[in-house]
Structures are given as C-alpha cells and as structure tokens.
Structure 1
Amino acid sequence: MTDANRLLTLYRKITRWPLGHWLFSRAVCVKAPYFGSIAPRIVRLEHGRCEAVIRDRRAVHNHIGSVHAIALCNLAELTAGVMTDASLPAGMRWIPKGMTVSYLKRAKGRMHAVATPMIAVVVAESGYELPVNVDVLDPAGDRVFHAEIRMWLSPKR
C-alpha cells in the first residue's frame, strides 16, 4: 500500500479544513447515498482502520427507543467499506460478499464503530476474501454490536 490511494489522500487533505470530517463524510454519502440515512461522521481513517460515529437521534431508533439493528449494520458496512477502499492496493477492487452480526447489548447513545481487517490486504493475481472485523461501542465504551464482513477483493479488469 502506498500513499497513492486516492481516498486516503483525499481524507488527509479535506480533514485539515474546518468541518473537514463532516465534508468528507458527506462526500462518501454522495457516492453511496443509502449511508446518508444514518448521517455518519468518519472520524478516523488510515490504512487498515476506519472509525465512524452516528448520533443518537430519532431517525435511527427502533420502536423501543434504542438504535435500530439495521442502522448498526449500515454503520458497520460503511466503516468496513471505507477502510477496505483506503487500504486497497493499486489495481485491486472490492465488493461486500457477506456479513455476520451479533447484537450484544441494547444500543443507546452515540455509536462509535471501528473497522479493521482480520488479515493483511495484499495485491493478488486472483480474487480472495478479506474478513473485516467491526465493533460498535456505546458512549461507555461497551461493545453493543459486532460484525464480520467478508469483502471480495480482486484485480481490476
């Protein structure tokens, strides 16, 4: 991986500006509009790690007033995808292949997701599966949700 990764370079440039994290997060949601439904804020991005937060607001609640399970899934997929894209070697592409989730505790308050790969991201001549670990924490730092997202990485045609 080199710093030539366009997404990571853009993140580093934009986040130096006032409101840069907000602007970068909005740009990600323009590229993938469905993620806008949870109004995420990407707060850290580097090779092999992405962190994002969502506010505790009515739009992401379920019928019992906690953060909805699917909002947590969206947050997990967002952080896993952005981390994968920022860690991708030149000449490779990715797509989510599957997700396994565990709801560990009632999700109340601001949610903080952390995505990291479970193996090294490498250049390959054929496709391979990259498992990504995503933990979502509540304001007390307790894990409320865990996902393993399997990304399919392959050479660009």
Structure 2
Amino acid sequence: MRDTAMPDTPLLRLYRKFTRYPAGHWLFSRAVCFKAPYFGSIKPTIRVLEAGRCEATIPHRRAVQNHIGTVHAIALCNLAELCAGVMTDASLPRDMRWIPKGMTVSYLKKANGTMRAVATPMIPIVSAAEGYDLPVNVDVLDPAGDKVFHAEIRMWLSPKR
C-alpha cells in the first residue's frame, strides 16, 4: 500500500511504472532526456526518485572528459541540474510550477569514475500564494563515496496561473 502523504505527481507515477521492469531506470532516464534533450549529452541514469530525493549517475567516458582525463566541470553541473530539476518536479504540489533560477558550485577534487549525484531540498516544498526560492542541495560523489562536487541550485517556485 502506498503512503497517501507522499505526493503522487505525474513524474513519480511514470517513474514507478517504468522501474517495475528490467531496464526501467534506463528507459525512464531516456524519457527524461527526450523531454529535455540537452541532458542526454551526459547519458544519465536516474537510480532513485521519490518526493524530496533524486539520485542519478553518469558514466566516466571520453565525451564527458576534460583535457586531463577527469569528468568535466560542466558535465557535473549538468548532472546536478538534472537531479535538482527531476527531484523538484517529483515533489511539487499540483498548483505550483518551477524553473531554475541560479546555481552556485564548488569543485572539491578531481572527478574520476562513475559520478553519483544526490539532490535534496533545503526547505520543505509547499504550496504558496506567492512565488518563493527553493534551495536544492546537490552532492556529487565518486565511486569511493568521496564528495567531488557540491552545488546549491535555487529553483523559483510559483503558483500556476
């Protein structure tokens, strides 16, 4: 039985539907990239999606490397924005909408191997009569679990018209 307190957004319903099957995470991730094609450049796989949390990975491959052979800073930004956006969309009350407003990033160490991003909101996501900033925390970890990158992404949430 599903917890009725959890949001039942269209994106969460789609995620649950796809991920019941083998290769469902991959297929769901391709669907997200079809809707927002630029994210396809990093070949992400959304591994966990629930209200208030999104985890996604990108493989370390030549197309995302910089001149020293590590994962490029902008590929990490792309991964962070994808995770923050998908988490926000999956957590949003039906009467609200969102758009990214800004991003502050810190590169903490060289990024080698498959990168895993974890996005969580820094405040509760709620319905409101007026727009408000939603800060989203995104940490990117290397295969050893070391934090290589941190982003705070500000989403602008506002009532639907």
- Shorter-chain TM-score range: over 0.9
Alpha-carbon offset, residue 18 of structure 1: 1.2
Residue identity (%): 78
Alpha-carbon offset, residue 13 of structure 1: 1.0
In structure 2, the residue matched to 1:143 is: 147
Aligned mates of 1:3, 1:100 — CA distance in 2: 28
Give the alignment of 1:87-98 within 5 angstroms.
87-98=91-102
Deviations 1:11-63 (A, max 9, x none): 01110111100000000000000000000000000000000000010000000
Aligned mates of 2:82, 2:135 — CA distance in 1: 14
Aligned mates of 2:6, 2:46 — CA distance in 1: 21
In structure 2, the residue matched to 1:20 is: 24
Aligned mates of 2:22, 2:68 — CA distance in 1: 36
In structure 1, the residue matched to 2:134 is: 130
Asked if 1:107 is matched to 2:111, the reply is yes
Deviations 1:78-117 (A, max 9, x none): 0000000000001110000000000000000000000000
In structure 1, the residue matched to 2:76 is: 72
Aligned mates of 2:53, 2:25 — CA distance in 1: 15
Aligned mates of 1:79, 1:95 — CA distance in 2: 13
Aligned mates of 1:86, 1:34 — CA distance in 2: 20
Count of residue correspondences: 157
Please report the RMSD computed on the Cα atoms of aligned residues, expressed in angstroms: 0.8
Q: Which runs of 4+ in 1 moved over 2 A?
A: 1-4
Aligned mates of 1:25, 1:106 — CA distance in 2: 26
Alpha-carbon offset, residue 3 of structure 1: 3.7
Alpha-carbon offset, residue 2 of structure 1: 4.7
1:64 counterpart letter in structure 2: I
Aligned mates of 1:79, 1:142 — CA distance in 2: 18
Deviations 1:119-140 (A, max 9, x none): 0000001100000000000000
TM-score by length of 2: 0.96
Alpha-carbon offset, residue 4 of structure 1: 2.8
